Structure 1
Amino acid sequence: MRIISGEFKGRKITAPKKLPVRPTTDMAKEALFNILNNQYYFDDIMVLDLFAGTGNISYEFASRGTDKITAVDSYYGCIKFISETASSFKMNISTIKSDVYKYLQHTKQDFDIIFADPPYDFTIESFGKIPELIFENKILKENGLLILEHSKHTNLTDLKHYSYSKSYGGNVFSFFENT
């Protein structure tokens, strides 16, 4: 994987093969950030990266100037890798080893952008629990954006706060808004 834009543009990051991850493709990531570029000043926002995996999305935000990033994953190897990589690049990414649902139930922070990339084999109920907890617990700021990455075989259009989706190959980003 590589960083698409910003201070660390073009830098390649190689994650250990033993991590249980499926990083967002460069093509999909570039398309996503083209959308976000038109809506946000990256140095003014707080970002939450759920099911952070390799930290791919967190690094992209950090490279573009975001310095308030929290990455959450339940797998220690992922958290360790993100922490080490962020430290080597001098990126300000806070890492939290936690079950995402437990984190969403207990956090007192709120964020401008929340990105979640859960396993593609999640059930609709498991996907639906993510926006449910985020909106119930007021974790997304007013005019904030929740982005759920999922397979093209998963349809999230019936979930509350759903706004729209964008497809890139087999990847889909569904957007949920707090308006």
Structure 2
Amino acid sequence: MRIITGIYKGRHFDIPRSFKARPTTDFAKENIFNVLTQYVDFDGAEALDLFSGTGSISLELVSRGCQTVVSVEMDRDHHRFIQECLKKLNTKACIPIRGDVFRFVKSCRQQYDFIFADPPYALKELPQIPDLVLQKGILKEDGIFVFEHGKDHDFSEHPNFIEHRQYGSVNFTLFRATAKTTE
């Protein structure tokens, strides 16, 4: 796993073979971040990374200048790996939280400029995640939510849909919070 660009550009982290997480490929990550530059100014932004897995997206967000990144991951070993990566980078810009994403979102009182979610593709609650995030009001008005999912889901009819991108087997759907979804 490598950081694509920013202050930690080129840094590599070896993911233990025992990990169950499927990290976003470097190819897909680089392409989706290229798209995101039209929508998000990461410099000084507050970001939330749900289902963080290996922390690849969290580390990329920190490298790109986010002021704060909250990284939520339930798996103990994955959470520990994220902490180790942050220690190697000597950064306090990321707050790794070990916990259930659904409980976190339901109790969250903070708003973010950018939210990324990469749940397990087989998660039965996967289709409800965009509404959960957008209706809870944790995304600031005009904030961007990127949802990574498998090919079996289509969110193009969602009222907050912006666009869909596919890179190999990786699908990203982008949503924008409106005044109505942030109330």
Q: Normalising TM by the smaller chain, what interval?
A: over 0.9
1:13 Cα shift? 0.9
- Rounded to whole Å, the distance in 2 between the matches of 1:2 and 1:109 is 29
* Helix, strand or coil at the partner of 2:40: coil
TM-score of the superposed pair, with normalisation by structure 2: 0.91
Instruction: Give runs of aligned pairs for residues 14-163 of structure 1, distance below 5 A.
Output: 14-91=14-91, 92-123=93-124, 126-163=125-162
2:21 and 2:159 map into 1 onto residues whose CA distance is 28
Corresponding residue of 1:168:
167
CA contact (8 A) 1:164 1:176 kept: yes
Q: Distance in 2 between matches of 1:65 and 1:161?
A: 26
After TM superposition, which residue ranges in structure 1, 4 or more long, deviate above 6 angstroms? Answer: none
Does 110-119 or 12-21 show the bigger shift?
12-21
Q: Which residue of 1 aligns with 2:181?
A: none
Q: Deviations over 1:50-96 (max 9, x none)?
A: 00000000111111111300000111111111111112102221011
SS of the residue aligned with 1:44?
A: coil
Report the CA distance between 1:158 and its aligned residue: 3.8
Contact 1:51 1:73 in 2 (8 A): yes
Paired residue secondary structure (2:39): coil
- Aligned-pair distance for 1:10? 1.3
TM-score, normalised by the number of residues in structure 1: 0.93
**Number of residue pairs the alignment of both structures matches:** 177
Task: Note the C-alpha offset of 1:160.
Answer: 4.6
Residue segments in structure 2 that go unaligned for 5+ positions in a row:
179-183
